Amino acid sequence: MELEPLQRLTRDLTQAAVTLSRSEARFLVDAYYIMQEDRKRTYNQERALTASAEPHTIISWLAAQAELLEKQIARALDVYSASQPIGLWMREIDGIGPIIAAGLLAHIDIHKAPTVGHIWRFAGLDPTSKWERGQKRPHNAALKTLCWKIGESFVKVKGKESDFYGKVYAERRALEGQKNAAGEYAEQAKAVLLARPTHAQAATYKQGRLPDGHLHMRAKRYAVKLFLSHLHETWRKQEGLEVPLPYPIAHLGHTHKIEPK
């Protein structure tokens, strides 16, 4: 049985990715990650059928086509993210590849973000922004997921000599551990227990401490928010837009600023 292969992107279509609208780029980034998960499931199914000696011609074809389509979308997003100066800046950072850079370009309108706080809030990284039942979601779910992926990516590259934000994560994780051991998060632990008394880590929270997974997430958020702060500053400067001082320096009397990489 002969199955038709997918048509590959032509050179002209690939180059047309430079002119993608932000909404088109958002769709392609979302499609890429959906197809990535589908491809993994298909290959898992193929391996299971191979192990049981069952016929799997169609499954193998589908897996190959899914991988090809995923690569074609990645190719288009590679061109898109490399077509803008801020995209090139992002791609120089360990942990930020063409797809993540394309996603940030597609989701963030820097002209509508006079401060980095606007980006943090839009990405679901503002702890003061609450989502109450029945209310409209105060953040962009796709961007929040993308920022989670960025945090995971920073953790993976922290051992590279050239890495910056992964090492920020590691330093912050160590500090979080020290604060936790000193009991500085006792009130937060108590609040978690009040909200979820049957939490799987209830024993740790009862001791007035946060579990390791909680500390890991806090350190990741810190590294991602710092990266977004640097992205905001660099992007606004490239666009000739005003760049305000970070809130802690402008309003809280802090004097130390971590400069963009």
- Dump pLDDT digits (tens) for 85-114: 999 999 999 999 999 999 999 999 999 999
pTM of the full structure: 0.86
What percent of the chain is modeled with pLDDT above 90? 61
The verdict on 79 and 126 lying in the same domain is no
Which of 67, 83, 99 is the endpoint of a domain?
83
How many residues can be counted in the chain?
A: 261
CB 203 within 8 A of CB 193: no
Give a yes or no: residue 69 inside a domain: yes
Does 45 share its domain with 150? no
Largest CA distance in the chain: 72
Residues 137 and 242 in one domain: yes
Q: Give the separation between CA 171 and CA 226, rounded to whole angstroms.
A: 13
Report yes or no on 94 lying in a domain.
no
My answer on whether 75 and 120 are in the same domain is no
Cβ neighbours of 235 (radius 10 Å): 24
The answer on 159 and 119 residing in a single domain is: yes
Burial 76-96 (b: 16+ CB within 10 A, else e): bbbbbbebbebbebbbebbbb
Statement: residue 254 has pLDDT above 70: no
Which amino acid is it at 187? E
How far apart (Å, rounded) are the C-alpha atoms in residues 8 and 29? 18
User: What is the per-residue pLDDT across 198-217, written as a single tens digit (0 to 9) for each?
Assistant: 888 889 999 999 999 999 99
Domain containing 20 equals 8-83
Instruction: Provide CB contacts within 8 A for 91, sequence distance 6+.
Output: 81, 82, 97, 98, 101
What are the residues whose beta carbons fall under 8 Å from the beta carbon of 180, sequence distance 6 or more?
209, 210, 215
Structural domain includes residue 145: yes
The domain total for the chain is 2
Residues 55 and 160 both lie in one domain: no
* Domain stop point among 43, 68, 83: 83
Q: How far apart are CA 23 and CA 3, in angstroms?
A: 33
pLDDT of residue 38: 87
pLDDT in tens, 36-52: 998 888 888 888 888 88
Please check whether residues 65 and 163 belong to one and the same domain. no
The verdict on 144 and 257 lying in the same domain is yes
User: Exposed/middle/buried for 175, CB within 10 Å: 0-12, 13-18, 19+?
Assistant: middle
State which of 48, 83, 118 marks the end of a domain: 83
Same domain, 65 and 156: no
The answer to whether residues 124 and 147 touch, using CB atoms and an 8 Å cutoff, is yes
